[in-house]
């Protein structure tokens, strides 16, 4: 099911401030359980955007983990 660029849905705020996004919106944005969203207040609105790591951030974090465990890129490729 394709969602147009401009879409809306009515959702209910639960007791602990939780909301459930409609499946169609999650599917259209390729969101999965556990994904993080950024919430921004603009005037009287809340805008949610997916918070995904860009490639540079991912590369830096991978390098940090690899260095911490004394693992090289060659080690990773060899073990594939």
Model confidence over 13-56: pLDDT tens digits? 999 999 999 998 888 888 889 888 989 888 888 888 888 766 77
| C-alpha–C-alpha distance, residues 60 and 58, integer Å | 5
| C-alpha–C-alpha distance, residues 19 and 17, integer Å | 7
Is it the case that residue 1 has pLDDT exceeding 60? no
Q: Where are the domains of the chain?
A: 36-78
Average pLDDT (50-63) is 77
Whole-model pTM?
0.56
pLDDT at residue number 78: 77
| C-alpha–C-alpha distance, residues 61 and 56, integer Å | 9
Q: Identify the residue whose tokens are 């993080």.
A: 36
At 4, the pLDDT band (50, 70, 90 cuts) reads low
Q: Three-state DSSP class for 48?
A: strand
């Amino acid at each position: 099911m394709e969602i147009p660029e401009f879409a809306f849905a009515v959702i209910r705020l639960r007791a602990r401030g939780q909301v459930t996004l409609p499946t169609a919106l999650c599917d259209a944005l390729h969101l999965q359980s556990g994904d993080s969203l950024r919430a921004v207040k603009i005037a009287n609105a809340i805008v949610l955007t997916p918070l995904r790591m860009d490639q540079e951030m991912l590369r830096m974090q991978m390098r940090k983990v690899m260095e911490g465990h004394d693992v090289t890129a060659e080690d990773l490729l060899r073990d594939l």
